[in-house]
């Protein structure tokens, strides 16, 4: 390419090609106006010394512009263009790499199953046995929410961390009984059921925040199946919870009649009271047991279930609405009212209950082997005497590291 040379004149300057008079001659015949001559289209035979394809540019009466200044501007322009080009190419490379990474199928996150269970001071061994049975019979990712009163929290942690349960995933949650003030009648026929932790199931959304679906279990249960199956229980649209009805299994019906248990609303609500009659619920309606619950937290909050339950607790304080034989102002009666006709069903094998009602009444061994969950609801607990099927419970017992909780074995 021919070299460029600046030539100065009055009122401006031109840039001409070294060895080529075309630019100079053309500019000399014009009043110093801007020239843009596409030299590459000129006849090279007429201008044999023209060997480049650059533009000849003349400046119209402009100020003197030093060549060095133009070169600096040109250099900066080139650097800027190179920088922009580099950033663009680099960004596309990064995005392409990220896209390639995203194209790889990510590992599926294992779903976490929250299980809420209470740990009362006098029966903490029951809680640990239940946790042990759940954890040992599943490969699912279980998160245990162990709920206790303030004076028991350190003991709960010590029991878990200094025993075979140290591998479980758990959170310890404090329940403040102040929320129950003015909501419980003191004259229940079974005062042990008035313990604050018995009402934890009313307040699940206040204790558990980041889960859509939650399992609640009473502490006097043993799980023999995979808890994943219970968690997979389908809740119908608009249902905040699933329970196991008291009329589900023929074997359960036979046992109910044998030990004189009620399995209808009549056994929990006092139908002599106008408030109960006005509900329009037949006294022969089958009841359900809230010792095993699969709950939808979104629906629970949307329907304000906790507020409804508190309302019926307060009404019982004022009007004594619940039967003293079973209800006695405890957790079951308010739930029967609030969830009447609005709950889904749990597989009956996932709640075989009444094992604690009569120490002289037993289920068949074959039936117990098929059961997924056993519940010793009633007065006769498997860690105490007398009780039935306590061998099934004791196989999951985790000894107390502090030596406080002991099994009551009676010579029999």
pLDDT per residue as tens digits for the range 218-230 = 999 999 999 999 9
pTM metric for this prediction:
0.73
Mean model confidence pLDDT for the chain: 80
Instruction: With a cut of 50, say whether residue 39 has pLDDT above it.
Output: no
Which is more confident, 261 or 25?
Answer: 261
Residue-level pLDDT at 87 = 66
- CATH topology for 113-395 is Spore Coat Polysaccharide Biosynthesis Protein SpsA; Chain A (3.90.550)
Per-residue model confidence (pLDDT) at position 190: 63
Lowest mean pLDDT among 143-147, 257-261, 375-379: 257-261
pLDDT value of residue 253 = 53
Q: Does pLDDT of 31 surpass 80?
A: no
Q: Tens of pLDDT along 167-214?
A: 999 999 999 999 999 998 876 566 666 789 999 999 999 999 899 999
Residue 71: which pLDDT band, with cuts at 50, 70 and 90?
confident
Q: Give the confidence band of 27 by pLDDT, cuts at 50, 70, 90.
A: very low
Give the pLDDT of residue 247.
85
- For residue 101, what pLDDT is reported? 45
Choice among 170-184, 264-278, 283-297, 351-365 with the minimum mean pLDDT = 351-365
Q: How much is the pLDDT for 164?
A: 97
Asked if pLDDT for residue 257 goes beyond 90, the answer is no
Q: What pLDDT is stored for residue 357 in this prediction?
A: 86
| pLDDT recorded at residue 330 | 75
pLDDT at residue 258 above 50?
yes
Q: Name the residue with higher pLDDT: 284 or 72.
A: 284
Query: What digits encode the pLDDT tens for the residues 112-153?
Result: 999 999 999 999 999 999 999 999 999 999 999 999 999 999
pLDDT given for residue 252 in this prediction? 55
HEC string of the chain? CCCEEEEEECCEEEEEECCCCHHHHHHHCCCCCCCCEEHHHCCCCCCCCCCCCCEECECCCCCCCCHHHHHHHHHHHHHHHHHHHHHHHHHHHHHHHHHHHHHCCCCCCCCEEEEEEECCHHHHHHHHHHHHHHHHCCCCEEEEEEEECHHHHHHHHHHHHCCHHHHCEEEEEECCHHHHCCCCCCCCCCHHHHCHHHHHHHHHHHHCCCCCEEEEECCCEEECCCHHHHHCCCCCCCCCEEEEECCCCHHHHHHHHHHCCCCEHHHCECCCCHHHHCCCCCCCCECEEEEEEEEEHHHHHHCCHHHHHHHHHHHHHHHCCECCCCCCCCCHHHHHHHCCCCCEECCHHHCECCCCCCCCCCCCHHHHHHCCEEECCCCCCCCCCCCCCHHHHHCCCCCCCCCCCCCCCCCC
Note the pLDDT tens digit of each residue in 281-336: 999 999 999 999 999 999 999 999 999 999 999 999 999 998 765 554 578 999 99
**Least confident stretch, 2-16, 79-93, 185-199:** 2-16
pLDDT confidence of residue 378: 86
């Amino acid at each position: 390419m021919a070299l460029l040379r600046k030539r100065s004149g009055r009122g401006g300057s031109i840039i001409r090609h070294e060895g080529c008079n075309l630019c100079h001659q053309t500019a000399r015949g014009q009043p110093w106006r801007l020239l843009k001559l596409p030299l590459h289209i000129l006849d090279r035979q007429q201008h044999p010394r023209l060997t480049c394809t650059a533009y000849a540019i003349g400046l119209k009466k402009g100020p003197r512009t030093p060549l060095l200044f133009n070169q600096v501007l040109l250099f900066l322009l080139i650097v800027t263009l190179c920088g922009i080009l580099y950033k663009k190419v680099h960004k596309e490379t990064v995005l392409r790499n990220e896209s390639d990474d995203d194209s790889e199928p990510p590992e599926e996150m294992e779903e976490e199953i929250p299980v809420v269970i209470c740990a009362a001071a006098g029966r903490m061994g029951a809680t640990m046995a239940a946790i042990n049975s759940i954890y040992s019979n599943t490969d699912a990712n279980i998160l245990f929410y162990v709920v206790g009163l303030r004076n028991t929290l350190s003991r709960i942690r010590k029991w878990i961390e200094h025993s075979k349960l140290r591998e479980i995933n758990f959170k310890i949650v404090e329940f403040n009984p102040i929320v129950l003030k003015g909501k419980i009648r003191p004259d229940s026929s079974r005062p042990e059921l008035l313990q604050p932790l018995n009402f934890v199931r009313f307040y699940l959304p206040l204790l558990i925040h980041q889960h859509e679906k939650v399992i609640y279990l009473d502490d006097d249960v043993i799980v023999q199946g995979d808890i994943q199956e219970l968690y997979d229980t389908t809740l119908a649209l608009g249902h905040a919870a699933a329970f196991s009805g008291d009329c589900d299994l023929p074997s359960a019906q036979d046992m109910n009649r044998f030990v004189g248990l009620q399995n209808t609303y009549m056994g929990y609500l006092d139908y002599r009271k106008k408030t109960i009659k006005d509900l329009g619920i037949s006294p022969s309606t089958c009841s359900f047991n809230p010792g095993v619950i699969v709950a939808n937290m979104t629906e629970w909050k949307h329907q304000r279930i906790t507020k409804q339950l508190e309302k019926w607790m307060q009404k019982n304080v004022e009007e004594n609405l619940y039967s003293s034989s079973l209800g006695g102002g405890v957790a079951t009666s308010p739930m029967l009212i609030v969830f009447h006709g609005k709950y889904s069903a749990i597989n009956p094998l996932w709640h075989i209950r009444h094992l604690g009602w009569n120490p002289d009444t037993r289920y068949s061994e074959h039936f117990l082997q098929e059961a997924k969950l056993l519940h010793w609801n009633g007065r006769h607990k498997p860690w105490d005497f007398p009780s039935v099927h306590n061998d099934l419970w004791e196989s999951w017992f985790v000894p107390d590291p502090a030596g406080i909780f002991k099994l009551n074995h009676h010579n029999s």
